[in-house]
Amino acid sequence: MFNSLRKRLTWLYTITTGCILTLVVAGFLLFRMEETKRGQLEQFQNTWNNVSSRMQFGTTISHSWLAQTEAAGHLILHIEENGIPFLYTGSWTPRTERQILIDRVKQMAAEQGVYTAVAPVSSSMNVTSLITLTGDEGEEYYAMVLAISTGNGVKSLCLISYIPPVIQMLRETILYLGLMYVFGIAGLFLISWKFVGWSLRPVEESRQKQAEFIASASHELRSPLAVLRSGIAAIKAKPEESEALLRTMDAECARMSRLISDMLLLASTDAQTWSIHMEETDLDTLLIDTYEAFLPTCREKNMKLQLQLPDETLPAIRADKERLKQVLFILLDNALSYTPSERSIALKAEVSSQGKPTRHHPRQIHIQVTDQGPGIPDDVKAHIFERFYRVDSSRSKKEHFGLGLSIARELVSLHGGTIRVEDNPGGGSRFVITLPI
């Protein structure tokens, strides 16, 4: 499912960004085309100014100069004096016959009132505006005509310039842009594939965790349900043993109820619909109450429970007293379950004293629960707070579902604190809760 979604999103992102890239490339190409057209026009204007100035100032125009000028710029220079053309056949062959182009330009100049065989009347010189004409094969030309009045009559100049197609002039640019466009689309596809995969990874992990959560919950619920069904069958077969069987069934019902309560609590934290009631909390009193609650159980199991508090009274903090006590109960219950008899468990609290408190480094209180059990391997520490995760993979300890530490982490997080596990120097594990003051 996620591979299919990843492909669809990748194509969507590629097409979207590809459209943007297409617009950018097209815009750049249009800009270059307009720039090229402006350059062609400027080049023609410069050539016209150069040639017409030679005509106006009577500079000698030779065959070699005409040939060199025409060949360099694909020009047609047609000069007449009193209607008689200058004897020059041209240095290159345009696609449309040379004389046809000259006749068309002279006709268009006449429409503007400029005649190559008639001297100007109102002034000594007549010049046409820019003339654009098309050849027989669709090629384009720029042209201008100049008529100058002389003592002997009139001298005229027809300048025609071949305009290469813009696409032809930008052939290398278009090829370069085409290659860049293809590689750009391929690059966008690869980047989109990686980005979509990276974006969907949390969703995939969440789905996988949800599937594992459901599988683990089903596994845990199957055991008490099996006990209930077998108990009902046994009561039907042997009614005289119903009292003992009912006690077993009641214990399993209580166990299943506790599991469901834990699951509902985690579900409410996931949905962010569960709130805590913050109030000023006396930590000394809270820790002493917790110590006294577990002391009888420790004595029954022949364990030593230690309460280690600083000489000075612990500062009050804003917390949900009942939920914070629930966290301590979870940690102490785990310690009791995994610590052998005749060993000790410690409940300790201290205030951080590393430098002067600041906004970025406020004062904190650390609550520790230390046991002398088998300890937790380093490769397991990263997973110990995951739901339904237990170091005892055989699930032989029926009183633990693997949800307690997950609940503890969620509750501590709601208080703005953190919880971590580390090795106890004397053997076993140490759980450290850090809360802001």
- 426 in any annotated domain: yes
- pLDDT at residue 226 in the model: 67
Catalogue the E-assigned strands of 185-343: 279-281, 304-308, 317-319
Question: Comparing 38-47, 200-209, 317-326, which segment has the lowest mean pLDDT?
Answer: 200-209
Which of 17, 6, 388 minimizes the C-alpha distance to 201? 6
Q: Which residues in 71-85 are b (16+ Cβ under 10 Å) and which e? A: eebebbbbbbbeeee
- 218 in any annotated domain: no
Strand bridging mode 344-351 / 429-436: unpaired
Which of 79, 74, 78, 77 minimizes the C-alpha distance to 43? 74
Angle between helices 171-237 and 242-270 (to 10 degrees): 160
| Boundary of a domain, candidates 148, 164, 180 | 164
Identify whether the C-beta of residue 190 lies closer than 8 Å to the C-beta of residue 11.
Answer: no
- 376 in any annotated domain: yes
What is the rounded distance in angstroms from the CA atom of residue 18 to the CA atom of residue 24?
A: 10
pLDDT in tens, 104-124: 999 999 999 999 888 887 788
288 and 429 both lie in a single domain: yes
290 and 415 both lie in a single domain: yes
Dig out the tokens for 148 from the structure. Answer: 């100058």
Catalogue the E-assigned strands of 189-343: 279-281, 304-308, 317-319
- 139 in any annotated domain: yes
Which of 337, 341, 340 minimizes the C-alpha distance to 392? 337
Residue-averaged pLDDT of the chain: 83
294 and 431 both lie in a single domain: yes
Question: What's this model's pTM, rounded to 2 decimal places?
Answer: 0.50
pLDDT in tens, 152-174: 889 999 999 999 888 887 888 88
- pLDDT at residue 395 in the model: 38
Beta bridge partners of 368: 348, 432
428 and 282 both lie in a single domain: yes
Provide the CATH number for the domain around residue 281: 3.30.565.10
- 82 in any annotated domain: yes
pLDDT in tens, 36-94: 899 999 999 999 999 888 888 766 778 888 888 888 889 999 999 888 888 788 888 89
Which of 211, 262, 285, 250 minimizes the C-alpha distance to 409? 262
pLDDT in tens, 207-246: 776 766 666 566 556 656 766 777 788 778 777 777 777 7
């720039």: which residue's tokens? 35
In this prediction, residues 268-297 reach a mean pLDDT of: 83
Provide the CATH number for the domain around residue 117: 3.30.450
Q: Which residues in 20-34 are b (16+ Cβ under 10 Å) and which e? A: ebeeebeeebeebbe
What is the rounded distance in angstroms from the CA atom of residue 25 to the CA atom of residue 349?
A: 66
Residue 392, C-beta contacts closer than 8 angstroms, at least 6 positions apart: none
What is the rounded distance in angstroms from the CA atom of residue 234 to the CA atom of residue 7?
A: 56
């990263």: which residue's tokens? 382
Domain hosting residue 121, numbered range:
64-164
Identify whether the C-beta of residue 148 lies closer than 8 Å to the C-beta of residue 56.
Answer: yes
Identify whether the C-beta of residue 398 lies closer than 8 Å to the C-beta of residue 418.
Answer: no
Overall number of domains in the chain? 2
430 and 306 both lie in a single domain: yes
- 188 in any annotated domain: no
| Boundary of a domain, candidates 164, 198, 220 | 164
What is the rounded distance in angstroms from the CA atom of residue 40 to the CA atom of residue 142?
A: 9
Strand bridging mode 304-308 / 344-351: parallel
288 and 417 both lie in a single domain: yes
In this prediction, residues 351-360 reach a mean pLDDT of: 59
Dig out the tokens for 212 from the structure. Answer: 């594992």
The DSSP secondary-structure symbol of 86 reads: P
431 and 306 both lie in a single domain: yes
- 294 in any annotated domain: yes
| Boundary of a domain, candidates 164, 183, 216 | 164
Helices (H), 57-73: 63-73
pLDDT in tens, 333-353: 888 888 888 899 999 999 986
Catalogue the E-assigned strands of 152-244: 153-163
Identify whether the C-beta of residue 334 lies closer than 8 Å to the C-beta of residue 328.
Answer: no
Confidence band, pLDDT 50/70/90 cuts, at residue 283 = very high
- 175 in any annotated domain: no
What is the rounded distance in angstroms from the CA atom of residue 349 to the CA atom of residue 370?
A: 11
In Å, how far are 55, 212, 232, 318, 418 from 265, measured between CA atoms? 99, 18, 30, 21, 19
What is the rounded distance in angstroms from the CA atom of residue 402 to the CA atom of residue 216?
A: 9
